[in-house]
C-alpha cells in the first residue's frame, strides 16, 4: 500500500515542493498534481521531477477534452522521460462546467472518448504509426472525413523510457467504472466509501474485470482523502462537510450531478436531495450541516491511531492500494510527522 499526496492547486505549491524530500524520507511514495481550471499540471510536474529522485508522479487529472489523444500521449511520454520513468498518466472527463464553461469545448461522449484516448496513447508509446479509426478520433484524418488528404500515419520520433506508461482514470458512473476495470492500471474515485463499494460499483467492476487483460495486473485504487491523525480540528471537519456539500449539492445541474448520483447509490437518497435543494437555493451552510456524519467519517482518514488503523484495513479490504493524502495538520512539521506515522501504521495494518 503506497502513500501519496495530492497538491492543492489553489495554493501552497512552492511550500509543498520544498518539503518533498522531507516527505520522501518519511514514507511518501507518490505526489499527484491536479489540473482543474488552475495552472496547468504539466509544468508543475516537470518542476517536481527535477526536484526529486525517487517520488513517483501522477496527474490527477488531465482532462480528456483539453488535449488531443496524441498530445496527451506525447505529454505523458515527456513527463516519464524527465522523471526517468516515474510518471503515471491520470485521466478524467471532468464535467460540463469546466469543459464547456472554461475551455469552450463540447462535453460529449465521455465514455467513448476515454476508451479511444487510452487506446491511442498506447499506440503512441509503442512507437507504432498511429492509425485509429474511431467514432470520436480519426488518425490520420483522411480526405473523405474532412481532412486534406495529405496526412499519413506517423510514429513518435523519440523512444519513450517505457512503452507502457501506467494509466489511471477518475470515474464515478457505473459505465465509466466498468471501462476503468477493463482498461486502466489505476482508478481514482472521489468520496470512496469502503463499506459500500459493492453497493455502488460491484456490478460494473465485475463487468469490467471479466474483460480485463491479465497483463494489466491488479487495479490500483488511488484514493484522494483528507487525513488527520488524532482528533481533527473542528474547522478541518467543517472543510470536509463544505466540500461534500459543494459536490453533492452544487457540482452540476440538478439532474447532471455525478456526485449526487453517487450519494444516492450509497443509500443517501433523501439526504442527497436535501443537500442539493439547500445548496441550489443558496443555503450553503445548511447544506453542509445536512451531510450525514457517517458519510464524513467513511470518506476520510481521521481519528486516533486505533481508528486510523481500522480505517486503513477497511480501505485495503475494499481494494485501495494508494492513498492520495490531503493532510489537515496545522503545520509543516506536523504534516510530515503524521505522514511518517501513517506509513508505520500501514505497515502494521496491511499484510505484506
Q: What is the CATH number of the domain that holds 117?
A: 3.20.20.30
The predicted structure's pLDDT at residue 319? 95
The predicted structure's pLDDT at residue 34? 93
- Residue range of the domain that includes 264: 231-303
Q: How confident is the model at residue 13 (pLDDT cuts 50, 70, 90)?
A: confident
pLDDT tens, residue by residue, 249-281: 998 788 889 899 999 999 999 999 999 999 999
Say whether pLDDT at 36 is over 90: no
Q: How confident is the model at residue 351 (pLDDT cuts 50, 70, 90)?
A: confident
Q: State the greatest distance between any 2 C-alpha atoms of the chain, in Å, as a whole number.
A: 65
The predicted structure's pLDDT at residue 283? 97
Instruction: With H, G, I as helix, E, B as strand and everything else as coil, classify residue 295.
Output: helix
- What are the DSSP calls for 186-240, one per residue? EEE-SS--GGGHHHHHHHHHHHHHHH--GGG-S-EEEEEEEEEEBSPPHHHHHHH
Q: Of all helices (H) and strands (E), which one includes residue 168? A: strand 167-170
Identify whether residues 173 and 203 lie together within a single domain.
Answer: yes
Identify whether residues 151 and 287 lie together within a single domain.
Answer: no
Average pLDDT, the chain: 94
Say whether pLDDT at 12 is over 90: no
Identify whether residues 210 and 159 lie together within a single domain.
Answer: yes
Identify whether residues 97 and 167 lie together within a single domain.
Answer: yes
Asked if 65 and 93 touch (Cβ cutoff 8 Å), the reply is yes
Identify whether residues 92 and 173 lie together within a single domain.
Answer: yes
Identify whether residues 155 and 280 lie together within a single domain.
Answer: no
Say whether pLDDT at 143 is over 90: no
In the chain, how many domains are there? 2
Residue 292 corresponds to which cell in the numbers above? Answer: 450525514
Asked if 303 and 203 touch (Cβ cutoff 8 Å), the reply is no
Identify whether residues 189 and 333 lie together within a single domain.
Answer: yes
Average pLDDT over residues 4-30: 87
Give the C-alpha separation, 1 to 138, whole Å: 39
Share of the chain above pLDDT 90, in %: 85
The predicted structure's pLDDT at residue 150? 87
The predicted structure's pLDDT at residue 254? 86
The predicted structure's pLDDT at residue 312? 97
The predicted structure's pLDDT at residue 31? 96
Identify whether residues 200 and 320 lie together within a single domain.
Answer: yes
Give the C-alpha separation, 314 to 222, whole Å: 14
Average pLDDT over residues 309-320: 96
Share of the chain above pLDDT 70, in %: 99
Q: Name 139's bridge partners.
A: 132
The predicted structure's pLDDT at residue 193? 96
Identify whether residues 278 and 341 lie together within a single domain.
Answer: no
Closest to 172 in 3D by CA, of 203, 200, 209:
200
Give the C-alpha separation, 206 to 238, whole Å: 36
The predicted structure's pLDDT at residue 122? 98
Instruction: With H, G, I as helix, E, B as strand and everything else as coil, classify residue 176.
Output: helix
- Residue 84, phi-psi category: left (phi > 0), alpha (psi -120 to 50), beta (remainder): left
pLDDT tens, residue by residue, 198-248: 999 999 999 999 999 999 999 999 999 999 999 888 998 999 999 999 999
Identify whether residues 212 and 85 lie together within a single domain.
Answer: yes
First to last CA, the chain: 9
Asked if 228 and 329 touch (Cβ cutoff 8 Å), the reply is yes
Say whether pLDDT at 163 is over 80: yes
Query: pTM value?
Result: 0.93
Identify whether residues 116 and 254 lie together within a single domain.
Answer: no
Identify whether residues 155 and 288 lie together within a single domain.
Answer: no
Give the C-alpha separation, 55 to 77, whole Å: 17
Amino acid at each position: 500500500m503506497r502513500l501519496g499526496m495530492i497538491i492543492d492547486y489553489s495554493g501552497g505549491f512552492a511550500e509543498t515542493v520544498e518539503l518533498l524530500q522531507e516527505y520522501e524520507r518519511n514514507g511518501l511514495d507518490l505526489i499527484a498534481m491536479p489540473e482543474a481550471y488552475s495552472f496547468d499540471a504539466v509544468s508543475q510536474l516537470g518542476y517536481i521531477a527535477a526536484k526529486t529522485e525517487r517520488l513517483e508522479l501522477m496527474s490527477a487529472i488531465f482532462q480528456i477534452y483539453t488535449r488531443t489523444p496524441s498530445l496527451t500521449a506525447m505529454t505523458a511520454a515527456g513527463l516519464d522521460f524527465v522523471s526517468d520513468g516515474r510518471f503515471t498518466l491520470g485521466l478524467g472527463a471532468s464535467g460540463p462546467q469546466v469543459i464547456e464553461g472554461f475551455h469552450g469545448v463540447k462535453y460529449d461522449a465521455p465514455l467513448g472518448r476515454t476508451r479511444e484516448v487510452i487506446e491511442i496513447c498506447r499506440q503512441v508509446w509503442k512507437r507504432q504509426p498511429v492509425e485509429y479509426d474511431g467514432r470520436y478520433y480519426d488518425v490520420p484524418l483522411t480526405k473523405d472525413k474532412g481532412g486534406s488528404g495529405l496526412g499519413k500515419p506517423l510514429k513518435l520520433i523519440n523512444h519513450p523510457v517505457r512503452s507502457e506508461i501506467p494509466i489511471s482514470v477518475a470515474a464515478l458512473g457505473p459505465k465509466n467504472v466498468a471501462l476503468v476495470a477493463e482498461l486502466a492500471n489505476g482508478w481514482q474515485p472521489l468520496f470512496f466509501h469502503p463499506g459500500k463499494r459493492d453497493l455502488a460499483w460491484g456490478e460494473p467492476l465485475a463487468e469490467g474485470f471479466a474483460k480485463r487483460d491479465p497483463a494489466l495486473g491488479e487495479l490500483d485504487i488511488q484514493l484522494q482523502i483528507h487525513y488527520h491523525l488524532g482528533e481533527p480540528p473542528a474547522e478541518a471537519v467543517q472543510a470536509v462537510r463544505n466540500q461534500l456539500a459543494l459536490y453533492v449539492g452544487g457540482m452540476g445541474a440538478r439532474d447532471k450531478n455525478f456526485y449526487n448520483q453517487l450519494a444516492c447509490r450509497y443509500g443517501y437518497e433523501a439526504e442527497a436531495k436535501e443537500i442539493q435543494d439547500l445548496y441550489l437555493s443558496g443555503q450553503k451552510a445548511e447544506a453542509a450541516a445536512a451531510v450525514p456524519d457517517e458519510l464524513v467519517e467513511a470518506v476520510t482518514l481521521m481519528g486516533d491511531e486505533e481508528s486510523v488503523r481500522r480505517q486503513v484495513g477497511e480501505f485495503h479490504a475494499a481494494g485501495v492500494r494508494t492513498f492520495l493524502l490531503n493532510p489537515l495538520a496545522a503545520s509543516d512539521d506536523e504534516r510530515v510527522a503524521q505522514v511518517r506515522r501513517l506509513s508505520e501504521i500501514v505497515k502494521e495494518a496491511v499484510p505484506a
